[in-house]
Amino acid sequence: MKKNKKPESTIVDIARELGISAATVSRALNDHPKISKRTKERVSQKALELGYRRNQLASSLRNSRTFTVGMIVPRISMFFHAEVISGVQNLLHRKGYNLIICQSNDSDEIEKELAATLYSSRVDGVLVASTLYTTDYSHFDVFVEKGIPLVFYDRVPVDPYPAQLVEGDEYRGGYLAGEHLAQMGCTRIAAIFGLLSCSLYRGRLKGFKDALTAYKLEADESRIYFHELTHENALKTLEILFSTKPYPDGLFTANDTSALAMLDFARQRGIRIPEDLKLVGYSNDPRAASVTPSITTIDQFPGEVAIQVVDALGRLLENRTKSILEEPRTVVTPVALIKRQSTNPQ
């Protein structure tokens, strides 16, 4: 199937055919007020006829605006991130922006590389949920220096960084979880968090501890674990937690994958949930709703996060055209406790 690729037609082609200048064609296509109605009609007619499509590259080069936004996420297929991406993409599309998606696979090396590529592509703005291990954010400096809108969300820099931040109310999430377990009568509460290098878990831990304190339960440090929140890691920790009596009667895991691991472990060891142990997860992963017993968890409202992220970006994009730069600002998105069977004594 030999294809004779037609060459792309340009405004120059249109101009030639119509016997006018390329400048006029350009203005006509952009609905410039000084161009006569008649010319505009002739131009758009001819454009259609020749199958003309604007070359966005050339346009962007000239205007230094690409109408493209870059997004770096740790893993596209994680439920929360997939939802945020989906929301962001829809919102940006409405504003006439494209979205370049990159995933760091939670490697800060790759993250660096991606930042460089996005800069090369001269994106108009960048959205980042960084890796769990990013502590040095200097690979984003180039965007700050060049005044390119930069928004961090979810996993945000721990130390002050001159960019917009959109973060979940991690403290409240942790607090709600701890409070709920306390209210349900747990006294030996254990918890599993991710590494504290990541902003997420710092907040959750603090909120969790404060809740226990508020309920006159000392947070027992020996029952709090920190590691990457995978299914396997969770099982290992649970082995330890349930190796010596008294067993914990409440468990907060900082993601739902670990909570699901607890369910497996419980089934295998004959631990009854919620009777013997009450369980709270985090993220409101769809699986948490469909397992038996369903898992009490903290919803992060990814749709709302998407809205806030795009909103913050939008403000920056507008300000940039006015070349006013905004103060770094932090937006906190809500969380909510979703009560389910795993903490419900009937």
- Judged by the rule CB under 7 A, the positions of this chain that interact with DNA are 8, 10-12, 19-24, 26-27, 29-30, 32, 34-36, 38-39, 52, 54-55, 58-59, 61-64
CA distance 256 to 280: 8
Site residues (CB under 8 A) for a second copy, limited to 181-240: none
Is the omega angle on the peptide bond into residue 328 within 30 degrees of 0, that is, cis? Answer: no
95 binds a second copy (CB under 8 A): no
Spatial contact of 144 and 162, defined as CB atoms under 8 Å apart: yes
Spatial contact of 256 and 287, defined as CB atoms under 8 Å apart: yes
Q: Which spans in 7-78 are helix H?
A: 11-18, 22-29, 37-50, 56-63
18 binds a second copy (CB under 8 A): no
Which region, judged by CB under 8 A, interacts with a second copy, from 70-78, 125-133, 198-206, 238-246? 70-78
Beta strand pairing status for 164-168 and 150-153? Answer: parallel
Which region, judged by CB under 8 A, interacts with a second copy, from 20-28, 35-43, 114-122, 239-247? 114-122
- By beta-carbon proximity to a second copy, the closer residue of 130 and 182 is 130
Which residues are registered as beta bridge partners of 127? 71, 151
338: exposed, middle or buried (C-beta count within 10 Å: 0-12, 13-18, 19+)? Answer: middle
- By beta-carbon proximity to DNA, the closer residue of 31 and 218 is 31
Site residues (CB under 8 A) for a second copy, limited to 146-175: 146-147, 162
Site residues (CB under 8 A) for a second copy, limited to 264-293: 286-287, 290-292
Beta strand pairing status for 297-299 and 336-338? Answer: antiparallel
Task: Report the partner that residue 5 touches, choosing among DNA, a second copy, none (CB closer than 5 to 8 A by kind).
Answer: a second copy
Is the omega angle on the peptide bond into residue 274 within 30 degrees of 0, that is, cis? Answer: yes
Q: Give the type of residue at 198.
A: C
Token readout for 284 is 């409101």
- By beta-carbon proximity to a second copy, the closer residue of 120 and 243 is 120
Which region, judged by CB under 8 A, interacts with a second copy, from 54-62, 151-159, 185-193, 212-220? 54-62
Token readout for 338 is 């979703």
Binding site for a second copy (CB under 8 A): 1-3, 5-6, 8, 51, 53-58, 60-61, 66, 68, 75-77, 79, 82-83, 85-86, 89-90, 93, 98-103, 105, 110, 114, 116-117, 119-122, 142, 144-147, 162, 260, 263, 286-287, 290-292, 323, 325-328
